[in-house]
Structure 1
Amino acid sequence: MELQTRHNFVALIIGVTGMTGFSLADALSRPGCLGGPWKVYGSARRPLPSWFPPSLLHHHITFDALDADDTCAKLSLISHEITHLFWLSVQFRDDEESNITVNRTMLANVLNVLITSPSSSLRHVTLQTGTKHYMGPINDPVLSKQLAPHEPPFHESMPRLPYPNFYYELEDFVASYTPSITYSVHRSSIIVGASTRSEINAMLMLAAYAAVCCHEGLPFRYPGSRYTWEHFCDMTDFGVLAEQHVWAAVTDVAKNEAFNCTNGDVFTWKRMWKVMSEEFDVEYVEYKEGEEFDLEEWMSKKGEVWDEIVEKNGLYKTKLEEIGCYAALKPAANFTFQHVSSMNKSKEYGFFGYADSCKSVRMWANKLRQMKIIP
């Protein structure tokens, strides 16, 4: 495919300060980026935090995607420019039906502006979801007790499960706009990276937990089951995920397809816990039967401790409840199956991005320290 040059590709990243947004903005801003050079707009509900380099964006737009009028007012000014929409935004509610409503509304409001504009230039939408596609609504208070997930390794041809899932709703909604536009779906695993605005960034949640343990002189105990301690799991580096988004956005064979996105290796939490203990300078302890505990409940009482840690170390001002959702981490630490996804389809289609998960954890821990998000 012959790629066009000099800002013929204009990106709008929805959710630029959370999840994969920081890494995606960084990737798109590089001179050698596939399909580049890109012009990059980023958006979020709030202004850019001080740790986010404004040089990565042509312009940052603040608006509430749940508000149709606010969305229209802010995006109509640039709707004629945007060729690629990168959808990274997500909001979580108490149950899956509410998740469906809130996330579909946000996506609908944005696409309504970009596609219905008489001068619309939109070509492609990348949609970030995850392995809940294969497991069902694992955080729903009622449905989570009824789920029968697919047998791993998860692969993209597996049929949908018979449960409500906002990932399914978003996929169908984007697909309904074809052939006017094309799309790609990116199903990540447990995500690690650097951001204060991602409730499901496992890296930041565990880093904060380790900081509390260090501050109080407590051992860094694994908050899951023996099964997950000993069996294989995989994860997704923010950088690999961003790379896959860009690849699919400008590669013809990837159009209207869904792809798993993991680092391409597997690990046991037993091994990873040693890496994290070393990296966070906390006492490593082996998993012990009968010493299980609820990390969500434990961390819910540590808000004031985190405030002390932030103040003592001169960190970027965050509140513990804002930088992680430990309720979302709990199921991943207690799966009764190996949480592993196949990357065969991505490789067959030509995407070969990868990361060493242990090195990835060390790299992002250093990045979080450089950004003054953790001590």
Structure 2
Amino acid sequence: MTTSQGAKKAQGRVALVTGGNGITGNAIIEYLATTTTTNDWSKIIVTSNSPLESKIKDPRIIFIALDFTQDSRTLIEQMQPVCTQTTHTYFSSYIHKDDFRELNHANEKLFENFLQAITTVAPNLENVTLQTGGKYYNIHIQPARNPLREDYPRAFPKSQNFYYGQEDFLKEHQKGKNWSWNVIRPQAIIGSTYKPNGMNSALTFALYFSICKELGTKAPMPTNRRFWEGYDDVSYAPLIADLTIFVSTRLSCANEAFNCTNGDVICWKYLWPQLAAYFGIDPADADVSAQINKVEEPLEGTAEQFFSLNTWAKDKRPVWDKLCEETKTANSKKTFDCGTWQFQDWVFQRTWSALLSVSKARRYGWTGYIDSLDSFIATFDELAKQGVIPKRDVMLIIFHF
């Protein structure tokens, strides 16, 4: 993976990173802490609605607990003592609601409250970067026009996609101001964080494969033939951080949206068995080609899945707890509650491919890349290092005996 190079340095840059416990927020913090100096960034202000659980050590990190569901006036009062020197803000906060209308309204307000507050508090603000995602292109609803590019027209009304509302508010609020904006649109984020959360597919895969290995069962991917044999892409969180800092610190990238993926294309038919092999499962026991080929190929645009991962997981908590006891990682038991079982069913039911073009980022000089298999393995290794899942070598010893 390459890192941002040649960014114009400015003494005294101050970053404000929201969602510090989230996958992307944590990646941005780690990026700034490990690849920059005090001359590049003098402070790294981190916010979250809950106590920061990151183990990243850097004297520049300052934590402030903020709840962006509060109105901007309240946030201004809370941010004033800490955030006035902010020059660059990175917003990746999210609030989940089961009701679609509530979800849209809540997340639009979340960003509006934050933006109104920080633009009032920070007189030297230079850039606001908002993270949205592949759902901007409504790939969760219908087949995509591949490869998806940043300038494609919106397919649905703004009321049906809160990313539209967030981006529109950002652009409108910036008019006549001295600061610039950027939007980063990743696809299927792969990464790790010290606080397990329900938005991490790699974590769910680790739970699934580990439990299958413990039970001595096969580990089929619960999908359909079109998705199994089709093409997909994912976005490694450290790579998202790299692009985020790259574009937000270059005038040539000001006021632009950028897709972000690993830079390669995956086919689950080949990747899934490789992921299973990491956990000691015979790749042949993860290949579902024979089962899927027995049924008629589904029509593109429909939803089909030959078994539900969410249903499968309902009685697996005792198995996971037993594995954590056997590997002496009892603290990992709580990780099971963060499995994205229902979300993965929704993804695996898709009968269409969705690919985000990163050509625009390339044209603007970004060269970030990582092989997607490597990004999964790095994430699994990091989750084990963080104590979120048992370490692989310990699991394989237990399974062997």
Match of 2:170 among 167, 174, 177: 174
Q: Matched residues in 1 for 2:245 and 2:91: separation?
A: 12
Structure-2 residue corresponding to 1:45: 49
Q: In the TM superposition, what is the alpha-carbon distance from 1:124 to its structure 2 partner?
A: 1.1
- Cα pair 2:7 2:250 within 8 Å, conserved: no
- Cα pair 1:35 1:250 within 8 Å, conserved: no
Structure-2 residue corresponding to 1:114: 118
Distance 1:236 1:56, change over 3 A: farther
Note if 1:371 corresponds to 2:386.
yes
What is the letter of the counterpart of residue 119 of structure 2?
I
Q: In the TM superposition, what is the alpha-carbon distance from 1:223 to its structure 2 partner?
A: 1.5
Q: In the TM superposition, what is the alpha-carbon distance from 1:322 to its structure 2 partner?
A: 4.3
Q: Matched residues in 2 for 1:349 and 1:357: separation?
A: 22
- Cα pair 1:79 1:121 within 8 Å, conserved: no
- Larger helix share, 1 or 2: 2
Larger radius of gyration: 2
Structure-2 residue corresponding to 1:294: 308
Q: In the TM superposition, what is the alpha-carbon distance from 1:20 to its structure 2 partner?
A: 0.8
Note if 1:188 corresponds to 2:186.
yes
Q: In the TM superposition, what is the alpha-carbon distance from 1:83 to its structure 2 partner?
A: 1.0
Note if 1:161 corresponds to 2:166.
no
What is the letter of the counterpart of residue 316 of structure 2?
K
What is the letter of the counterpart of residue 58 of structure 1?
I
What is the letter of the counterpart of residue 178 of structure 1?
Q
What is the letter of the counterpart of residue 182 of structure 2?
S
- Cα pair 2:10 2:40 within 8 Å, conserved: yes
- Cα pair 1:220 1:277 within 8 Å, conserved: yes
Q: Look up the SS of the partner of 1:77 in the other structure.
A: helix
Q: How does 1:235-250 map to 2 (within 5 A)?
A: 235-250=234-249
What is the letter of the counterpart of residue 69 of structure 2?
L
- Higher mean C-alpha displacement, 65-74 vs 252-261: 65-74
Q: In the TM superposition, what is the alpha-carbon distance from 1:304 to its structure 2 partner?
A: 3.8
Structure 1 gap ranges (5+):
139-146
Note if 1:20 corresponds to 2:16.
no
Structure-2 residue corresponding to 1:255: 254
Match of 1:346 among 361, 369, 373: 361
- Cα pair 2:92 2:130 within 8 Å, conserved: yes
1:186-233 deviation digits (Å, cap 9, x = unpaired): 111111111244422211111111122122222111021111111111
Q: Matched residues in 2 for 1:241 and 1:158: separation?
A: 21
- Cα pair 2:181 2:254 within 8 Å, conserved: yes
Note if 1:64 corresponds to 2:78.
no
Q: How does 1:262-277 map to 2 (within 5 A)?
A: 262-277=261-276
- Cα pair 1:40 1:59 within 8 Å, conserved: yes
Q: In the TM superposition, what is the alpha-carbon distance from 1:315 to its structure 2 partner?
A: 5.0
Q: In the TM superposition, what is the alpha-carbon distance from 1:320 to its structure 2 partner?
A: 4.7
What is the letter of the counterpart of residue 163 of structure 2?
Y
Q: In the TM superposition, what is the alpha-carbon distance from 1:321 to its structure 2 partner?
A: 6.1
Q: Matched residues in 2 for 1:57 and 1:333: separation?
A: 41
Q: Look up the SS of the partner of 1:21 in the other structure.
A: helix
After TM superposition, the score normalised by the length of structure 1 is 0.89
Q: In the TM superposition, what is the alpha-carbon distance from 1:80 to its structure 2 partner?
A: 1.1
Q: In the TM superposition, what is the alpha-carbon distance from 1:353 to its structure 2 partner?
A: 0.7
Q: Matched residues in 2 for 1:70 and 1:318: separation?
A: 37
Structure-1 residue corresponding to 2:85: 81
Q: In the TM superposition, what is the alpha-carbon distance from 1:236 to its structure 2 partner?
A: 0.5
- Higher mean C-alpha displacement, 250-259 vs 292-301: 292-301
Q: Matched residues in 1 for 2:263 and 2:135: separation?
A: 18
1:51-86 deviation digits (Å, cap 9, x = unpaired): 632437511222322123763443221231111110
Distance 1:185 1:324, change over 3 A: farther
Q: Matched residues in 2 for 1:76 and 1:102: separation?
A: 24
Q: Indicate the percent of aligned positions where both proteins have the same amino acid.
A: 27
What is the letter of the counterpart of residue 17 of structure 2?
I
- Cα pair 1:63 1:70 within 8 Å, conserved: no
- Cα pair 1:131 1:189 within 8 Å, conserved: yes
1:88-124 deviation digits (Å, cap 9, x = unpaired): 111221233212211122212222221123x522221
What is the letter of the counterpart of residue 188 of structure 2?
I
What is the letter of the counterpart of residue 27 of structure 1?
Y
Q: Matched residues in 1 for 2:30 and 2:161: separation?
A: 31
Note if 1:305 corresponds to 2:301.
no
Structure-2 residue corresponding to 1:215: 214
Structure 2 gap ranges (5+):
1-5, 296-304, 391-401
After TM superposition, the score normalised by the length of structure 2 is 0.83
Q: Matched residues in 2 for 1:213 and 1:62: separation?
A: 39
